Amino acid sequence: MSKDILATYDELVSAVQEARYRYYVLSDPVLSDQEFDALFRQLEQLEKENPSLLRPDSPTQQVGPPPGGAFLPYRHLTPMQSLDNVFDRGELGDFFVRVAQKVGDRQVVYVCEPKIDGVAVNLIYRNSVLEKAVTRGDGTTGEEVTLQARTVVDIPKRLNPEADADLLEIRGEIYFPLAEFRQMNEERIAGGEAAFMNPRNAASGALRQKDPRMTAKRPLRFLAHSLGGVYSIDAGANIVPSGKTMFSRHSDFLEWADKEGFSVPKPTKKVTGLDEAWGAVEHFTAERHRFPYEIDGVVLKADELSLHGQLGSTARAPRWAIAYKIPALEKETKLLQIEVNVGRTGKVTPYAVLEPVVVAGVTISRATLHNEDQIHLKDIREGDLVIIRRAGDVIPEVVKAIADHRPEGLPVWNMSEKCPFCQEPLVKPSDEVNYYCENIDCPNRVVESLIHFCSKGAMDIDTLGEKTTVVLHDMGILNNIADIFKLSEHVGTLEELDGWGAKKIENLLQAIETSKQKPLDRLLVALNIRHVGSVVAKELTLHFPTLDAIRSATVESLCVIPGVGEKIADSLTAWFANQNNASLLEELVKLGLRTDVGADPGSAEGGKPLAGKTFVITGAFFGMTRDGIKEKLESMGAKTAGSVSKNTTALLVGADPGSKLEKALALGVEIIREDALDALLSAK
């Protein structure tokens, strides 16, 4: 064997071990998931081609790194293995072939379930009482995190005594719910703190806090996915395998765990054969962003537990299960340049110009950097190799620079003193992390405000798209929001635009006319008032149902509204006090825009099944987005609010609800669970 192969092997082993240590122990990865998977598979392939290389301490023979030493070690009663991964249908088919070779013609039923991306933990119950919680570690020995795990609200502290075992192991993942993770990062960014890279790292960091009171401050959750072992304690106080069979199928265990109060993977699908399995994989992959937690794959497990013993395991993974890895949400690429955009409220947002890279099926060439503070906190520089992340409909962001690969001499990036679009000085308020262009005539700010005004969440003039808006602004026809409602005076110009015929112009003018009857909260969102989004606008109109009432409201009267603090109240009163804004509103009123609360045109306010009712939504709903539920409710005449109050008709509760549920219970507000949602939305 050549020295080059030996050197390559040693380098790969060292690189994988270092990456694992940084990922599992330090919660500070240096590689994206895709890069790590590629490195690991390269090591596996080299060992396959050169079997004499394989050694016991190879990462391919281990589940993870040894415990880091921050907590007491604990040796697992039954090893906590990892799962082998497959990346396409062909590799999944190979798994089915291997199983068939072991079991013959016997039909195997598999349970397909979403693979949560969290921190693997083993819970040990002695006589039905939680005794220990232990991380996976290297699969043989983990670290005891019992005090930290006790702060996780959905880890039962006691099981029903029917659990017929002296000692019982329940295995699963501690995770950070996505909604709370995004909210926490938004708050950290607004407060000038570095955002966490991803939910898995945030969960790991919280669980590894030495002081469990710090762990308790994070909304961690636990999802049980496997039975570890069932044990008896003999006369000599020795822990021995029980020999009792609590369940005959994995699906029976999940049903039992659900009744015991554990969260379990939902939904699951039972399949037989490759075609059904691949159909389940495609389904879960398409629905990955519907879950309240992050999933990075789909797991197939033989349902009959008797098959687990028959199929056995390798040194690190069972042969009765496999994990299909969904395309990664994180990728590495090069940051070519940092540029800035000036938005509709004047906020200046830096963004990264990237070497294009495909992330979760979408080519990404731009990603947000949030603000100058985040760039400095993460030490991101032009020319860096960076990790970018794209999750669902969230704007792609740069989450980390890989400083180890940084070329020498890359300078620190700082915000320009002047707006790149109008050359006016940029201003950074003392209580904010963002810079602003205060020039309301800044050309980019005007264009962004026009685009936002016509957007779906605002006045919904979808016929007037971004491209046309830019063209008409450059031609001097659209200089402010009021000009949108004067486009009927420019039919001749519209006819000269490429692709604009009589029918399209007619549709545009009709959409503009229809938008005049949008209710007040939509107008407030459309006006580009700093810090006023759809939730705040709804709350405002619940308390002040006319534009005049909002205009005359004081800071004090605004601050009593849920979700409206002093910063938002100051922003509102300052916006309405501005003479240019006052003149704009007067012109909009003259042009016929409505200035009160009401249903969309074409409906009688009392003629819809949910008219007069107010709903608040919390948690995640499988198969529907919260925005989709909100739109459906409002189409049925209901109002939706961002916070629970005594005026709330009902709280709609999905998976992993937040503090809104506690408040609703305290106020006696009706709770509508996900299983009753269809009945509500189909009301006549």
208 and 88 both lie in a single domain? yes
Which of these, 426, 416, 643, lies nearest to 540 by C-alpha position? 643
41 and 83 both lie in a single domain? no
284 and 418 both lie in a single domain? no
pTM of the model: 0.74
SS3 assignment, position 6 = helix
Q: Per the domain annotation, does 67 fall within a domain?
A: no
Q: Tell me whether residue 157 is one of the annotated catalytic residues.
A: no
- The amino acid that residue 148 corresponds to is Q
* pLDDT at residue 605, as a whole number: 47
pLDDT tens-digit series, residues 368-378: 999 999 999 99
Strands 110-116 and 295-302: antiparallel
97 and 224 both lie in a single domain? yes
CA 246 from centroid of its chain's CA atoms: 36
DSSP 79-111: ------EE-SHHHHHHHHHHHHHHHTT----EE
* pLDDT at residue 68, as a whole number: 66
- The amino acid that residue 645 corresponds to is S
Q: How confident is the model at residue 246 (pLDDT cuts 50, 70, 90)?
A: confident
pLDDT tens-digit series, residues 114-153: 999 999 999 999 988 999 999 999 899 999 999 999 999 8
Q: Which token pair is 523? A: 């107008």
Q: Per the domain annotation, does 286 fall within a domain?
A: yes
pLDDT tens-digit series, residues 38-60: 888 888 888 888 888 887 778 88
CA 421 from centroid of its chain's CA atoms: 33
Q: Which token pair is 435? A: 């810079």
Q: Per the domain annotation, does 131 fall within a domain?
A: yes
135 and 193 both lie in a single domain? yes
Q: How confident is the model at residue 265 (pLDDT cuts 50, 70, 90)?
A: very high
pLDDT tens-digit series, residues 545-574: 999 999 999 999 999 888 888 989 999 999
Return the DSSP state at 249.
B
SS3 assignment, position 3 = helix
pLDDT tens-digit series, residues 427-467: 998 888 999 999 988 999 999 999 999 998 899 998 898 99
235 backbone dihedrals φ, ψ, rounded to 5°: -60, -25
Q: Per the domain annotation, does 260 fall within a domain?
A: yes
281 and 395 both lie in a single domain? no
Burial track 467-484 (b if 16+ CB lie within 10 A, e otherwise): ebbeebbeeebbebbbbb
Identify any residues that bridge with 269 across adjacent strands, giving them in sequence order.
Answer: 112
Q: Tell me the CA distances in angstroms from 388 to 198, 357, 391, one per residue in order.
A: 11, 9, 10
Which of the following is catalytic: 48, 115, 270, 613? 115
Q: Tell me the CA distances in angstroms from 600 to 544, 597, 608, 611, 635, one per residue in order.
A: 18, 10, 11, 12, 8
Show which of 485, 515, 545 is a domain's final residue.
515
* Residues 160-178, mean pLDDT to the nearest whole number: 86
319 and 367 both lie in a single domain? no
Cα torsion through 9, 12, 13, 17, rounded to 10:
180
Show which of 515, 543, 573 is a domain's final residue.
515
Q: What's the CATH code of the domain at 215?
A: 3.30.470.30
28 and 92 both lie in a single domain? no
Dist. CA 383–CA 336, nearest whole Å? 5
Dist. CA 666–CA 581, nearest whole Å? 41
* pLDDT at residue 602, as a whole number: 38
Q: Per the domain annotation, does 121 fall within a domain?
A: yes
Q: How confident is the model at residue 66 (pLDDT cuts 50, 70, 90)?
A: low
What is the span of the domain harbouring residue 153? 73-325
Contact criterion met (CB below 8 Å) for 518 and 599? no
235 and 194 both lie in a single domain? yes
Q: Where is average pLDDT lowest: 90-99, 188-197, 369-378?
A: 188-197
Q: SS in 3 state form for 401-470?
A: ECHHHCCCCCCCCCCCCECCCCCCEEECCCCCCCEEECCCCCHHHHHHHHHHHHCCCCCCCCCCCHHHHH
Q: Report whether pLDDT(603) > 50.
A: no
415 and 282 both lie in a single domain? no
Q: Report whether pLDDT(274) > 80.
A: yes
359 and 314 both lie in a single domain? no
Dist. CA 473–CA 446, nearest whole Å? 9
Q: Tell me the CA distances in angstroms from 290 to 154, 178, 277, 619, 628, one per residue in order.
A: 21, 10, 20, 11, 12
Q: What's the CATH code of the domain at 11?
A: 1.10.287.610
pLDDT tens-digit series, residues 380-436: 999 999 999 988 767 899 999 998 889 999 999 999 999 999 999 999 988 889 999
Q: How confident is the model at residue 631 (pLDDT cuts 50, 70, 90)?
A: confident
User: Strands of 85-86's sheet, edge to edge?
Assistant: 85-86, 321-325, 295-302, 110-116, 269-271
Show which of 286, 310, 325 is a domain's final residue.
325
Dist. CA 354–CA 369, nearest whole Å? 12
Q: Per the domain annotation, does 525 fall within a domain?
A: no
In whole numbers, what is the pLDDT of the chain averaged over residues?
89
Which of these, 62, 225, 64, 28, lies nearest to 137 by C-alpha position? 64
Structural domain count of the chain: 5
Q: Per the domain annotation, does 621 fall within a domain?
A: yes
Q: Per the domain annotation, does 15 fall within a domain?
A: yes
CA 529 from centroid of its chain's CA atoms: 26
* pLDDT at residue 64, as a whole number: 67
336 and 319 both lie in a single domain? no
Q: How confident is the model at residue 600 (pLDDT cuts 50, 70, 90)?
A: very low
